[in-house]
Amino acid sequence: MKIELFWLALTILLTAMMWIPYILNAMMVWGILETMGYPEDPPPLAEWAQRAKKAHANAIENLVIFAPAVLLYTHLGEGAPSIDWAVMTYFFARLAHYIIYILKIPYLRTLSFLTGWAMTVIIVVKAILLAQAGV
């Protein structure tokens, strides 16, 4: 497996697991049956859980752009310089973003988001350059 695809798979797995903390909080606050149903007027989740839910939504929104960018590059990039550093950096930036968002650390949250965004842009630009070069 190419290292880029390994880090993409880890990023997908990370994103797929981000719902667990806020659902566990919902079970603690609302109860298991209410969490599994459609409570009419549930009490609010803990503030950290509300932030975890927002961070998860943000991770999904960004994965929709990041994953195709990595797949496009790996399709075009046979023999081209690797982007493993960018994909790995994206993974850790998204992990940091999730944790920092939950902990409510404002400036680091933005920095971690922008780091992940920049890695996506770098990958897309590299893919465009490869496509134009005919590699």
**CA gap 63, 79 in Å, rounded:** 25
**CA gap 35, 82 in Å, rounded:** 44
Annotated domain spans of the chain = 3-37+45-133
Residue 1: predicted pLDDT: 77
Residue 79: predicted pLDDT: 66
**CA gap 118, 124 in Å, rounded:** 10
Residue 82: predicted pLDDT: 81
Token digits of residue 32 = 């298991």
- The closest alpha carbon to 86, from 119, 125, 64, 63, belongs to 119
Query: Which residues of the chain are modeled with pLDDT < 70?
Result: 79, 135
Residue 67: predicted pLDDT: 98
Architecture of domain 3-37+45-133: Up-down Bundle (1.20)
Residue 135: predicted pLDDT: 55
**CA gap 122, 133 in Å, rounded:** 16
Residue 70: exposure state from Cβ atoms within 10 A (0-12, 13-18, ≥19): buried
Residue 81: predicted pLDDT: 79
Token digits of residue 86 = 């960018």
- The closest alpha carbon to 10, from 57, 59, 51, belongs to 59
Name the 3-class secondary structure at 16. Answer: helix
Non-local (6+) Cβ contacts of 67 within 8 A are 8, 11, 12
